[in-house]
Amino acid sequence: MKGIKDRGQTIQFLKLYTHYFSDMMMPNVSIFIAWAVIAFAVPVLHADQGILIKSEEAILHFLLPILLAYTGGKMVEPTRGGVSGAIAILGMILTSQFPQVFGAMIIGPLTGGMLRFFDHIFSRKVKTGYEMLFRNFSAGLIGGLLFLCNFFVFGPLLDQLSQQSYHLVDFFLKQNLFPAIHLFLEPLKVLFFNNIINHGLFTPLGVEGASIHGTSILFLLEANPGPGLGVLFACMRYGSQKARNGATAAAFVQAIGGIHEVYFPFILMNPLLIIAPILGGATGTFIFQMSKVGLRSPASPGSILAILTNTPNHMWSGVLAGVLVSTLVSFFVAYFVLTYHSVNEKSTEGTICMDKVKRIIVACDAGMGSSAIGASLLTKHLEEAAISIPVDYKSIYQLKDGEDLLVITQSGLGALAQTKTPQAQHYFLSNFLAESEYETLVKLLKQEQETVANVSFKIGEKIPTLIFLYEGKKRGAQTMAVAIVRKIANELAIPIEVKKEDIETTQFNPEALYIVQKDFQQMAALTNVTHLVVDDLVTTSKYRQLMTEGVAYVLD
C-alpha cells in the first residue's frame, strides 16, 4: 500500500511540475498562429521571401523565448518576475545558435523563484519609503546576474544539449525508429501529460528542426488526431451505452476542435484500449516518415484544420494519408478489444450537500477545451432544472479551496483535485462530454435542493409573508425584488406569498416580514414589526438564506 501511495504522490508531483511548462507555452500558442499567417501571406502577396526568413528568425530566436521566460517568471513572482525572466533569457539567446525554447522554460520560473526568495530575505530590512527602489533594484539585480550566468555558463551548456537532442532525434529518423516513440507517448498522453510532451518536448525540438529544414515531423507526433479518432469511432459503434452517448460529440470535438483530452476517459474506462492508439500512432508516424512530411510550425490545438494550415501544399497527401491510416488501424484494434473484452460501467453518483454548494468549477488539466465544454453543458442542464448556481471552468492547478465549492473533474484527476481542494465537495466524471453524467449530477443537486427546502420547514419556523415596502412612487427595485424572490421560491418549491406595498397605505401584519433598503426614510414606522434591512433590494444571497436557513438565522 505504501508503494502505491508513493507512486500516486510521484505522479501528482510530476503533473504539478510539468504543468508549469504547459502554462508557459499555452498562453503563447498564438505566436505559432501568427507565424502560420505570415508564412501563408508572404507568398500570396508575392512579397520578398527575405521577410519570411527574417520574421521566422525573429519569432523563433527572440520573441518566443523572451515571452516564454516572461510568462514563466510572472507565474512565480507576478509583479516583477516576468521582466527579470525576460532580461535573464536574453543572455542565453545572444550566445546560442539554436532557439532557446527549452532554456526559456527553465530560466523563467527559476528567475521568478530567485526574485521571490531574495525579497523574502531582504524586504523586511527595507526602510519605509524605499520599497519601490528596493523592488526595482532586486528585479534588475536578479535579472542582470542571471543574464551574465546564462551568457557565460548556462547558454553554451544548453546549446550543447540542444545539439545532442537534435542529433538524438535525427538518429531516430535515420534508424526508422520514430514509430517506437508511441510505446511511451500514448500512455503518457492518457495520463494527461499530453501538454508537457507536446509543448515541452516536441515543440522546442521541432522548432529547432523546422528552422533548419523548413518543416518537422515532431509537430505531428502528438498532434495527430488519428489514434484518438479511431478509438472514438470504435466506441461509437461497439462501446457500452455510456461510451456511445459521449463518443460522437467527442469525435467531432477532437477532429475539428483539436482537444485530444476527450478520448482519454474512454481508454481509462477500458485500459486495454491503450493498444489501439499505440499501434495507430506508430503506423501514422511510419507513414509520415516514409512520406518525408512535416509541419512548418506546431498545430495547436491538434485539429485537422490546424494541421493542414501548417502543412506545405506539396505535403498534404502524405499528412492526410498518415492521419487516415492511423485512424483505421486504431479503429480496428479498438474494435477487437471492445468485442472481446468489455468492462462494467462504474457509477459516478455520490452524495452532495446542496446547502453548502454556492459555486461549481469544472476542472481539467489545462483548464481550457474539455472543461470549458463541460461547464457549458452543465450550465445548460442547471438552467433547465431551474437551479441557479454559477459554473466556471479552470485548470486543476489553479483551484482555490472552499467549503462552498463543488469541483467536477475526470476520475483520472480525482486524487489531485482532492489534494488541491480538501474542503470542497467533489464529483468525478468518466467523460466531460457525456450528457448523461451531467443529468445524473443535476438530479442529485435537485434532490438535495428539495431536501434542504423541506428541512427548513421541519424546524417548526413558519416562513411568513414577504412584503417589500416602497415610498411614494419609487417601486422599480421592489418590483424586481418580488420577481427574484418568487423565482427562488419556485426553485425551492416553497409556497410563500411575496408582494410589494406602499408604506403610506399598508396595514402592518404582525406575521409578515417586511424588507426595506438601508436608506429607507421611514424606518421609524417599522419599530413594532419584523423587518429585514438589506443593502440592495435586488441582491439574492439574503433571500436564499431566508428560505433555506429560516427567518431567525437571517435576522440574527
Phi-psi region of 192 (alpha: psi -120 to 50; beta: other; left: phi over 0): left
> What is the CB neighbour count within 10 angstroms for residue 178?
19
CA-based radius of gyration for the chain: 29
H or E element in which residue 333 lies: helix 316-340
Residue matched to cell numbers 521566422: 56
For residues 514 and 526, the answer to whether their CB atoms sit within 8 Å is yes
H or E element in which residue 483 lies: helix 476-491
For residues 251 and 233, the answer to whether their CB atoms sit within 8 Å is yes
Per annotation, catalytic residue among 149, 235, 353, 364: 364
Q: Which of 37, 34, 115 is nearest to 80 (CA)?
A: 115
Torsion angle of the four alpha carbons 198, 220, 206, 111, in this order, in degrees rounded to the nearest 10 = -10
Cis bond upstream, residue 298 (ω within 30): no
Cis bond upstream, residue 301 (ω within 30): yes
The sheet carrying 512-517 orders its strands as: 498-502, 465-470, 512-517, 531-534
Q: Would residue 364 show up in a list of annotated catalytic residues for this protein?
A: yes
Residue matched to cell numbers 468489455: 342
d(CA 550, CA 542): 10
Q: Hey, CA dihedral for 306, 310, 312, 315, is it positive or negative?
A: negative
d(CA 161, CA 172): 17
DSSP category for residue 345:
P
Give catalytic residues, as residue numbers.
364
